[in-house]
């Protein structure tokens, strides 16, 4: 296995990681990424297999678990009850209960309100040039999550602040200041949700929090800590990813010279899948080996970590014709942006719906939308999203 060196905070890499991915793939499916100190899967075959190989998982092996630093306790407590880092049987139980409340019918019911929201946001666009991330791409998913959970929409700015500070913990550019900010946000977010869940227990409504409280399977229910962890996960993962899926998508469409047929009813699903494949918001997900396992010529020992480069797999020429070309008409068969296997993103249907609604309305209302400045990506790897998206309409 070759050793590759590439700083995840290097300015050139932040703006275009795909050059590094392509060079890595040419040398094989699996390499040691020295800057992360672990093996990394760059090819579609390796990523696809590792997402489904039950010899690997998200949960830290029991003998490797340690108490984190005291100042991170609120953040680590919130994370401990998230199904994102759980494995069966705990993951099976949590996911089954969440899916009983987070149904396709409930997601579809959001559509009319989201359409009205998109038009309202466009009506309020400021004078040119303006930042579309702030005015539109951020607002659609965070308000959608507020409505889904049953949290007042005026809470959206506060939820965004908590989310940004917590999600920053996963960035390669993380500092001790990041950790303190994440711990404070976790504490405040947890306290808010604990009180809000208490209210919903006494005053049920037609919202996700009420349905999560009511969800039951064979006498098993979500504890309050699990409810809090689930709500935090749905906001942080759902909002952060969809903001940047929309932002990266609009940027790509404007740079590629978008075509009206991309946004037609029979083309929008293909457009959304191609946006997610071509420039996804999450580039890397890690797994632990649970036993000795040989993968593509490399032997993992229990406790070894491996990085799955989702965005690199999406552009593997061995799995897709002309992967560097943005083509919304292509059959959407290669897309690892939502992960795979039992950890496949539970919020994927909502993210797709938001994009399928927000993009046609935006370009239908603003057919002359143009970039007003060269877009730049944030130094937030393993996430990949813009700092801002200045446009004129």
Dist. CA 384–CA 390, nearest whole Å = 17
Q: How far is CA 14 from the centre of its chain?
A: 17
Contact 307, 36 (CB under 8 A): yes
SS3 130: strand
Dist. CA 193–CA 155, nearest whole Å = 12
CATH number at residue 222: 1.10.630.10
Residue 14's CB is within 10 A of a number of other CB atoms, namely 19
Give the domain range for residue 158: 3-392
SS3 36: coil
Contact 87, 59 (CB under 8 A): yes
Backbone angles phi, psi at 121, to 5 degrees: -65, -40
Please give the angle made by the CA atoms of 119, 121 and 126, to the nearest 5 degrees.
Answer: 125
Q: What is the DSSP letter of 383?
A: B
Q: Terminal CA-to-CA distance of the chain, rounded, Å?
A: 50
Q: Which tokens is 186 given?
A: 């976790």
Dist. CA 188–CA 159, nearest whole Å = 10
List the one residue out of 182, 184, 160, 183 whose CA is nearest residue 171.
Answer: 182
Please give the angle made by the CA atoms of 19, 23 and 25, to the nearest 5 degrees.
Answer: 115
Number of domains in the chain: 1
Residue 117's CB is within 10 A of a number of other CB atoms, namely 21
What is the full DSSP assignment across 260-311?
GGGGSTTTHHHHHHHHHHHS-SB-EEEEEESS-EEETTEEEPTT-EEEEEHH
Give the pTM: 0.95
Q: Which tokens is 357 given?
A: 């609604």
For tokens 């060196």, the residue is 5
At what angle are helices 224-256 and 176-202 packed, to 10 degrees? 120
Residue 41 gets the label, from left (phi > 0), alpha (psi -120 to 50) or beta, of beta
pLDDT in tens, the chain (393 residues): 899 999 999 999 999 999 999 999 999 999 999 999 999 999 999 999 999 999 999 999 999 988 889 999 999 999 889 899 999 999 999 999 899 888 889 899 999 999 999 999 999 999 999 999 999 999 999 999 999 999 999 999 999 999 999 999 999 999 999 999 999 999 999 999 999 999 999 999 999 999 999 988 778 889 999 999 999 998 888 778 899 999 999 999 999 999 999 999 999 999 999 999 999 999 999 999 999 999 999 999 999 999 999 999 999 999 999 999 999 999 877 789 999 999 999 999 999 999 999 999 999 999 999 999 999 999 999 999 999 999 998
Contact 393, 25 (CB under 8 A): no
């Amino acid at each position: 296995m070759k050793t590759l060196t590439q700083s995840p905070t290097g300015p050139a890499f932040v703006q275009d990681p795909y050059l590094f991915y392509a060079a890595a793939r040419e040398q094989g499916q699996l390499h040691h990424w020295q800057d992360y100190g672990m093996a990394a899967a760059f090819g579609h075959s390796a990523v696809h297999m590792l997402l489904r190989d039950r010899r690997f998982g998200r949960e830290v092996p029991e003998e490797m678990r340690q108490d984190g630093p005291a100042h991170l306790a609120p953040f680590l407590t919130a994370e401990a009850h998230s199904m994102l880092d759980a494995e069966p049987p705990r993951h099976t139980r949590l996911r089954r209960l969440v899916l009983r409340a987070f149904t396709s019918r409930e997601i579809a019911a959001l559509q009319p309100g989201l359409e009205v929201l998109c038009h309202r946001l466009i009506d309020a666009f400021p004078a040119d040039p303006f930042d579309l991330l702030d005015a539109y791409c951020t607002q659609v998913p965070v308000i959608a999550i507020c409505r889904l959970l049953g949290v007042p929409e005026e809470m959206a700015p506060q939820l965004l602040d908590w989310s940004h500070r917590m999600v920053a913990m996963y960035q390669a550019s993380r500092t001790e200041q990041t950790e303190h900010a994440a711990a404070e946000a976790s504490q405040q977010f947890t306290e808010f949700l604990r009180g809000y869940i208490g209210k919903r227990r006494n005053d049920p409504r037609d919202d996700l929090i009420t349905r999560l409280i009511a969800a039951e399977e064979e006498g098993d229910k979500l504890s309050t800590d699990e409810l809090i962890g689930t709500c935090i996960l749905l906001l942080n993962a759902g909002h952060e990813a969809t903001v940047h899926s929309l932002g990266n998508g609009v940027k790509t469409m404007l740079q590629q010279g978008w075509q009206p047929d991309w946004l037609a009813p029979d083309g929008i699903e293909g457009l959304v899948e191609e946006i997610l494949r071509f420039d996804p918001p999450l580039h890397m997900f890690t797994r632990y080996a649970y036993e000795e396992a040989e993968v593509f010529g490399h032997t993992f020992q229990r406790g070894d970590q491996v990085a799955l480069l989702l965005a690199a797999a999406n552009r593997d020429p061995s799995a897709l014709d002309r992967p560097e070309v943005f083509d919304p008409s292509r059959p959407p068969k290669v897309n690892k942006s939502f992960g795979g296997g039992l950890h496949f993103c539970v919020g994927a249907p909502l993210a797709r719906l938001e994009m399928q609604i927000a993009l046609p309305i935006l370009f239908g209302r603003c057919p002359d939308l143009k970039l007003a400045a060269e877009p730049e990506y944030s130094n937030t790897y393993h996430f990949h999203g813009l700092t801002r998206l200045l446009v004129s309409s």
